[in-house]
């Protein structure tokens, strides 16, 4: 069976309505996937509704008509935020892609005291790239919504504005198994992953002051980007979104 690609549009959809893909999606649809008039695709609107659709126009961009709504399985009902200390190089691209594929709701890139990457020029371009990656990955894995990617922020500043339930993967404080930490979690919570060099003593104090539940992945020593992906899969499985 041929894979039908899903694209996200800003217009609210209904049967018979048309929508135009954005520049990046249009390029991917026409130049990479080689979609032509009459070809099938799926359109997902901002309200999470998804429709079987058909290409109706190909010029500088691609336009499609929504036809029949796809009845999706009910959402799990839990929104997971991943707060990820920024790794070096382009490792964050992989984190964004994979977290979006498995249905994480929100990603917060963090500058911690021992992060390899520091605030600097080009952060706006990186954020836009991460959002494009999240959008493409959500479509590829047939999510009904795109994972939100927030602007990078310092760990301290994020603590000042985040007031929800927090589970932190940390080796500085002995933690309980992650699967156990997730049991009975609130309907919306955040999972924090530190840098490979670990949290500073001040950041560890902030974790305690915030009431974070410290958790562990066991005796393995994982790179920060691997820990984020492994932890997210464990959490999404426990929530019933995977497996």
For the chain, domain boundaries: 6-70, 79-238
To the nearest whole number, what is the mean pLDDT of the chain?
87
Exposed, middle or buried: residue 196 (CB in 10 Å: 0-12, 13-18, 19+)?
A: middle
CATH number for region 79-238: 3.40.1280.10
pLDDT at residue 15 above 90? yes
pLDDT at residue 163 above 70? yes
Tens of pLDDT along 61-102?
A: 899 999 999 987 766 667 899 999 988 888 999 999 999 999
Side-chain half-sphere CA neighbours of 192 within 13 A: 28
97 SS3 class = helix
pLDDT confidence bin for 12, thresholds 50/70/90: very high
6-70 shares its CATH topology with 79-238: no
β-strand partners of 106: 81, 148
pLDDT at residue 120 above 70? no
At the fourth CATH level, which superfamily is domain 6-70? Hypothetical PUA domain-like; domain 1 (2.40.240.20)
Helix (H) or strand (E) holding 132: helix 123-140
């Amino acid at each position: 069976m041929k894979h039908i690609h899903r694209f996200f549009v800003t217009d609210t959809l209904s049967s018979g309505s048309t929508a135009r893909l954005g520049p990046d999606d249009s390029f991917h649809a026409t130049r990479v996937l080689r979609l032509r008039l009459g070809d099938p695709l799926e359109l997902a609107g901002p309200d999470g509704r998804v429709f079987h659709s058909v290409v109706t126009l190909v010029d500088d961009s691609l336009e499609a008509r929504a036809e029949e709504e796809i009845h999706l399985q009910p959402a799990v009902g839990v929104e997971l935020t991943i707060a990820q200390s920024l790794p070096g190089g382009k490792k964050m691209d992989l984190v964004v892609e994979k977290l979006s594929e498995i249905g994480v709701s929100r990603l917060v890139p963090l500058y911690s005291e021992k992060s390899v990457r520091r605030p600097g020029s080009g952060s706006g371009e990186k954020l836009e790239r991460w959002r494009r990656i999240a959008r493409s990955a959500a479509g590829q894995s047939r999510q009904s919504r795109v994972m939100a990617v927030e602007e990078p922020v310092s760990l301290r500043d994020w603590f000042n504005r985040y007031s929800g339930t927090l589970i932190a993967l940390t080796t500085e404080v002995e933690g309980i198994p992650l699967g156990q930490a997730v049991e009975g979690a609130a309907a919306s919570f955040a999972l924090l992953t530190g840098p490979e060099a670990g949290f500073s003593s001040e950041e560890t104090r902030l974790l305690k002051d915030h009431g974070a539940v410290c958790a562990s992945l066991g005796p393995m020593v994982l790179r920060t980007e691997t820990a984020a992906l492994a932890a997210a899969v464990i959490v999404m499985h426990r929530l019933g979104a995977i497996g």
